[in-house]
Amino acid sequence: MLLGTVNHISITVSDLPVAMRFLGPILEFLGYESEGAGDGVGVPVVVSISARIGGAFNVWAARPEHASQPFEVYAPGLHHVALNVARHEQVDEIARLVRRLGGEITDGPGEFPYADGGYYAVYFLGPDRIKFEVVHMPELERAWRERALLDTHLIIEDD
């Protein structure tokens, strides 16, 4: 089951405290717990761990000489970060949270034609205008359940 799974995602932001005021509540909603800030090879980093998925989401401070470089979704490098949820309603909850935090929704929440069986997502811009997506794919969830890869504790029903 571990072969090919994502161990962690790391992004770099120009202002770590500002970024975490936005990303902290979103990561918490998605089941990540902050392990706190530390020094990552000369720059601050916040590591958030999800025990449910066995992965981490790390947010790094940019080195000062790079902090003013703007993020561009269609430049070489990262395009966007997409994270799964268990239900359509959780996509809607994330959209409301993003708005409360002052984030910019770029598309959705709504159904998109990207997968058979449903693809309900919201796209938004986070710190430094980095693009994020939160998606519910019923067929993906069903396939994981059928293969017994998805433990019931991964589905958060009452958060």
| Calpha distance 139→95 (Å, rounded) | 22
Helix (H) or strand (E) holding 35: strand 33-40
Q: What is the DSSP letter of 73?
A: T
Per-residue pLDDT reduced to its tens digit, 80-96: 999 999 889 999 999 99
Token readout for 133 is 């997506």
pTM of the model: 0.86
Write down the mean pLDDT value for the chain. Answer: 88
